[in-house]
Each structure stands twice: as C-alpha cells, then as structure tokens.
Amino acid sequence: MIYPWHLYLMGAIYIGAGIMHFIKPKMYMRILPGYLPGHKFLVNLSGIAEIVLGLALFFPVTKDISVYAIIAMLTFFLPVHVHMLFGKNASMGLPKWVLIGRIPLQFGLMYWAYYYLWI
C-alpha cells in the first residue's frame, strides 16, 4: 500500500532518532532522570524501539500497532522532558522556552501518529 509522503517522513524521523541513540548515547543518558535505573539499557532500548516502530509504519500489517506503540512511547518520554525542564545538567543548556515547548510538542507528535490510524 502506498501511504502519504508524510507518514514516510514520520517513520524516517523515528528511525533517525533511534540511530542517534547509538551515535550519541551519552547525550541521551544525561537527560534521563536519576530515579530511573540502567540508563545505558534504557537508551539502547528506546533507540531500538524508535527504529523498529519507524520501520513498522511502512507496512500495512504493522502500521496500526506501530502507531499505538509510538503514542505509548511518547507518553513514557514525557517525564524525561519535564526532567529536562527542571534539571540543570539535563537541560543541555537549552533555553527554557525550548524546554517548555518540547512538552506540548510531544502531544503534537502523538496526534500526528494517531492521524494515521484513519488511513
């Protein structure tokens, strides 16, 4: 099945983001809250999840499952964005307005994924 170009764009974004977990793992470990155990494992797991889910968007048999999983994954990422907002080291020196904007962006990304359940 041929999907709209923007679904392929979304898949490519998740694949690229997942690959970055393996290229710059320390950056991702730095933004994780201290109360989460096994930062290296979580970074690897989330990187693999993003790659697999991005690829799964491209196939009719896995697209809807991938959409639901992406929404769940983005929900699990919300505490990381809140931690970045309040943690000096985790903020990576980004301006507060960027850190605040990342939180509603998560909901926008969830909606973007949800949209593809109807095509």
The structure's pTM equals 0.93
- Going residue by residue through the chain, which has 119 residues, state the pLDDT in tens, using 9 for 90 and above: 789 999 999 999 999 999 999 999 999 999 999 999 999 999 999 999 999 999 999 999 999 999 999 999 999 999 999 999 998 889 999 999 999 999 999 999 999 999 999 98
Secondary structure, 3-state, the chain: CCCCHHHHHHHHHHHHHHHHHHHCHHHHHHHCCCCCCCHHHHHHHHHHHHHHHHHHCCCHHHHHHHHHHHHHHHHHHHHHHHHHHHCCCCCCCCCHHHHHHHHHHHHHHHHHHHHHHHC
Residue-level pLDDT at 88: 85
